[in-house]
Amino acid sequence: MDDYYYSGIIIVNYARENNEILLKTLMESNINMNISIFYEKTDSRKILKELTYNIGNVGVEIKQSNENRQDIDIAVSAYNDAKYIRKEIQTNGEEVYFLYIYLNVFSKTQKELEYNLDKIEGILLSKGMQSRRSYFRQEQIFLSCLPLAENNNDMKKVGRRNILTDGIVCTYPFISSSIFEEEGIYLGNNIYNNSLVLIDRYNTNKYKNANMCIFGTSGAGKSFYTKLLILRNSLLGIEQYIIDPEREYINLGENLNGTIIKIGATSQNYINIFDIRKESIEENEHGYLATKIGKLIGFFNLIFGELNEEEKGILEEKIIEVYKIKGITFNDKTLYKNKKFKTSKDMPLLEDLYNILNDEKTKKFKIKLIPFIKGSLKFFNNYTNIELNKKIIIADVYELGEENLKYGMYLFTDLFWDKIKINRKIKKAIYLDEIWRLIGVTSNKEVAKFIYKIFKTIRKYGGSSVAITQDISDLFSLENGTYGKSILNNSSIKTFFSLEEENINLLSQFSNLSEKEKIEIKSLQRGECLMFVGKEHILVKIEASDFEKNILDKKIPKKMEK
């Protein structure tokens, strides 16, 4: 019919006891089928009367019968079942229903149909259900599986089985999660039931925060998914800040009229690490310099290596001194000039710190700062000259190279974090691609603590932190995975694209992945992912229109711009 072949299956018997949803495995098989479930409520008084009569007769028969009879066990089992049903009706208020379950399977070819029928029968048998093919009732079962509420009498004679109210729960068919939030953005379709997945991660009533983790191997689709999030969030006017170590978001930023800030040897963009910005602390709070020193210690840990307590003390003393030369102390009033907050040109530079490192104890620091003052990284030794007035800002740190990426990533993270804190009422998001560089073994505790603080507190500023990486092992490499685990636990939405088995096993140590979900992650196709959305676990196929793909993957043609 309509180029499809159809065939029906009737479930005719069930295991005596069942503690799981009967049709779960069947629905997760992704086989084309329609399922009809009918429940008929019975007359409890009539059932009780019949049960009592049956119990009496069978009880007498069991006592009088020879215990060597072959069917004695069956008789005893039936006797006990009848007593159990009577007790549930009389004492627990249970009702008895007649249950009918019909399956109508359809395929494009007869061969595929036969294969699917065999597969379904195998699934049913493994779950304690006996089935029968409806060879002579194909029309009746087809009609019974249409939305007509028609349970044919011929079918009822074959498929009827009794079930208590409590047992009906096991037949609940809607086992695949569906997430459809009215204020959410469309992400894709549920792989199992093809329902739309719309998520509003800023929904504070539903989610404890708006943070996300996006993990996946190279080519699995995580970058495309991230760009899609940025694109669709831009339609809602959300401010978005992206750390881009691989130059994957430049075209998107240009197409959305965002600001691209490139830092590197050939760039004319500069950011001064010593900048103290007015928004770096909350209004009516105090301690600008103290707050800045903590951030600088983290940055210099990246340059100098892990510092011991003595080295930290010496370095902090020199930082305080270099700010004092510029007239800035722990008194917040010293950060104002003519009632206006001081600009970048009123702040120290790396060179100012370099010039006061003249004793034996600071010799190591001075040597390691040479590339930043006189060498290949001297672009770090400049006053800030960038504007941050667009809703999308992309930090291009690609030119820094593998060894120096962490310096640029930290610099921009610090800058964006201050920007995020300006207005709590505005929704915003920060995307940290290759986050392992800031919280992995190549980083240090001070920097990792700063990143963790962002994930922990960004919610109160109306913000969302997004952690993106393909290097799971590196993510959990610092302090036995303490910071990676903390960030994972502080993300209400977790998205897992295809991963290698080694990474899946490592990830399962820090998240509640089931054995089934481990297998699913390993077998995911490009663009498919397993999402943990609050308490829901759902398999999603990421979907985008051709127009969106054009924006994400390349420049918009001039005709399209008009």
Are residues 107 and 164 both part of a single domain? Answer: yes
Determine phi and psi for 244, rounding to 5 degrees.
-120, 90
Encoding tokens for residue 154? 């011929």
pTM: predicted TM-score of the whole model, two decimal places = 0.72
Final residue of a domain: which of 129, 150, 171? 171
CA dist 120 and 116 (Å) reads: 6
Closest to 9 (Cα-Cα) out of 116, 84, 97, 88: 116
How far apart are alpha carbons 7 and 117 in whole angstroms? Answer: 8
SS3 state at 236: coil
> In this structure, is residue 62 part of a structural domain?
no
Buried-exposed string 331-345: b where 16+ CB fall within 10 A, e elsewhere = ebebbeeeeeebebe
State whether 291 and 440 are in the same domain: no
Question: Using CA atoms, how far apart are residues 445 and 470, in angstroms rounded to an integer?
Answer: 21
Which long-range contacts does 277-284 make (Cβ < 8 Å, 24+ apart)? 277/418, 278/335, 278/341, 279/418, 279/419, 279/421, 279/422, 280/418, 280/421, 282/421
Q: Residue 11 pairs with which residues in a beta bridge? A: 101, 131
Asked if 35 and 181 sit in the same domain, the reply is: no
Question: Could you read off the pLDDT tens digit of each residue along the chain, which spans 562 residues?
Answer: 989 999 999 999 998 887 778 887 887 677 889 999 999 999 888 888 888 888 888 777 777 766 555 667 777 778 888 888 888 888 888 899 999 999 999 999 999 999 999 999 999 999 889 999 999 999 999 999 999 999 988 889 899 998 888 888 888 876 666 788 888 999 999 887 778 899 999 998 899 999 999 999 999 999 999 999 999 999 999 999 999 999 999 999 999 999 999 999 999 999 999 999 999 988 778 899 999 999 999 999 999 988 899 999 999 999 999 999 999 999 999 999 998 999 999 999 999 999 999 999 999 999 999 999 999 999 999 999 998 889 999 999 999 998 999 999 999 999 999 999 988 999 999 999 999 999 998 888 889 999 999 999 999 999 999 999 998 888 999 988 899 999 999 999 999 999 998 999 999 888 888 887 888 899 999 999 999 998 888 899 999 999 999 888 765 444 434 3
Last residue of a domain, one of 117, 136, 171: 171
Q: Which of 558, 556, 557, 465 is nearest to 255 (CA)?
A: 556
Q: Which of 490, 501, 495, 499 is nearest to 459 (CA)?
A: 490
Considering the domain architecture, whether residues 126 and 186 belong to the same structural domain is answered as no
Residue 200 inside a domain? The answer is yes
Pairing of strands 528-533, 493-496: antiparallel
Rounded Cα–Cα distance for residues 244 and 49 (Å): 75
CA distance 559 to 562: 5
- Whether residue 15 is contained in a domain is answered as yes
Residue 61 lies in a domain: no
| CB 263 within 8 Å of CB 408 | yes
* Number of independent structural domains in the chain: 3
Compute the CA torsion angle 286, 292, 298, 304 (nearest 10 deg).
-140
- Per the structure, the complete domain to which residue 141 belongs is given by 5-42+95-171
- The verdict on residue 66 lying in a domain is no
Domain end position, chosen among 151, 171, 191: 171
